[in-house]
Structure 1
Amino acid sequence: MTDFTKEINNCIEVLTQGGLILYPTDTVWGIGCDATNETAVKKVYRLKQREDSKALICLVANDAMLERHVEKVPEVAYDILDLATKPTTIIYDSPIGLAKNAIALDNTMAIRVASDKFCQYLTNKFKRPIISTSANITGDPTPRSFNEIKDHILKGVDYIVNLHHDKKNGPPSSIIKLGNDGTVKVIRE
């Protein structure tokens, strides 16, 4: 079994039990959990010392998984994702099947279709969306690499992926809000 497969399997075991993982995403090192598990999502808020009224991002493996967790994916979303030159997070109206405490107060959810191999395999094999939030305490700068992640975060997760510890973060994802009424708003380029 390759290290890659072993890491995916270890993550799935922790996620299935409601635990937290620290993992390399397509943008930054992230804290993750099962996005359908309210208790696990609560642990993320607690670890980040973040109010649970502040929404989180979740990763999905592909368009099919996205469609299972959003009531109606606007057609323009597919165009945006196809044309994107960097990871792009889209905020959708009316998410379904996700933990209530992961959804914003206005009934929206920020979802990114994973663009790197590790996150795609992980979410695909787990068969559920995974929370993806930066590996820092709320208000602190986002660590630029694994070596900058503070002890509080390292000790607060149940599993740390043993891959890409030498990788520098990529650019943060673009964030675009799409309303079911046809509105498009760029939150972060």
Structure 2
Amino acid sequence: MAEFFRINADNPQERLLNQVVNILRKGGLIIYPTDTVYGVGCDLMNQNALKKLIRFKGLKPNKMNLSFICYDLSDITNYVKHIETPTFRLLKKALPGPFTFIMQASNSVPKLVDSKKKEVGIRVPDHNIPRELVNLLGNPIVTTSLKMDDDIQEYPTDPELIYEEYGHLVDAVIDGGYGNIHLSTVINLVGGDFDVVRQGLGEIEDYL
């Protein structure tokens, strides 16, 4: 079973965060809170962990939409192509926040994830735990939302129940308090337009 960590969302304990980071560096999968639903993720730089994450979701590598959790805007520029000034201004206003921005991937991304994906979703959640994990790890966490069985529509919010359900499938579960039931708002920025692909918790109109 996975290790279970109770981490304070307001002031995350660095000792516990470092223990989780060590699990990530060894290729482990972790379940963790965000400003939206609980997510499952792994170290972007670990190919074996990426394969485990894809198996966890039951998808083929080319079918999985890749999203990264970054610490801040300076992180993002390493993984996407040139960001136009209007886009940069939008990102600066809206992040950290409950948004996933789809952008054109830089040339380094396909090599990292062994895929021909030309687009990537970028997340900078307004939540201390995932951002501090990324900060200590030194590179992004590949992330996807945690979902119960297909016939159950609601997302799990109780970390102890999440542990019972998924603890045998991952290496660590972080209890950072109850999760949200709403996903992030997904906005496609490829081509320079602001196209809302999925309306979630974030209201992008507040930042335009």
**In structure 1, C-alpha distance between the alignment counterparts of 2:178 and 2:104, rounded to whole Å:** 34
CA RMSD of aligned residues (A): 2.5
1:61 equivalent in structure 2: 71
| Aligned pair partner of 2:128 in 117, 121, 124 | 117
| Aligned pair partner of 1:93 in 66, 85, 104 | 104
How far residue 106 of structure 1 moved from its aligned partner, in angstroms, is 4.9
**In structure 2, C-alpha distance between the alignment counterparts of 1:51 and 1:76, rounded to whole Å:** 35
Consecutive unaligned residues of structure 2, counting only runs of 5 or more, are 1-10, 200-208
How far residue 145 of structure 1 moved from its aligned partner, in angstroms, is 3.1
Q: 1:116 to 1:69 in 2, by over 3 A?
A: same
What is the aligned length? 183
Cα contact 1:26–1:170 (8 A) shared by 2: no
TM-score normalised according to structure 2 size: 0.76
Q: 1:27 to 1:121 in 2, by over 3 A?
A: same
How far residue 182 of structure 1 moved from its aligned partner, in angstroms, is 2.0
**In structure 2, C-alpha distance between the alignment counterparts of 1:80 and 1:133, rounded to whole Å:** 23
Q: State, as a whole percentage, how many aligned pairs show the same letter.
A: 27
TM-score normalised according to structure 1 size: 0.83
2:87 equivalent in structure 1: 77
| Aligned pair partner of 1:174 in 174, 185, 191 | 185
Q: What SS class does the counterpart of residue 160 from structure 1 fall into? A: strand
How far residue 33 of structure 1 moved from its aligned partner, in angstroms, is 0.2
Q: Which runs of 4+ in 1 moved over 4 A?
A: none
| Aligned pair partner of 2:15 in 6, 9, 12 | 6
Q: 1:186 to 1:25 in 2, by over 3 A?
A: same
The alignment status of 1:23 with 2:32, answered yes or no, reads yes
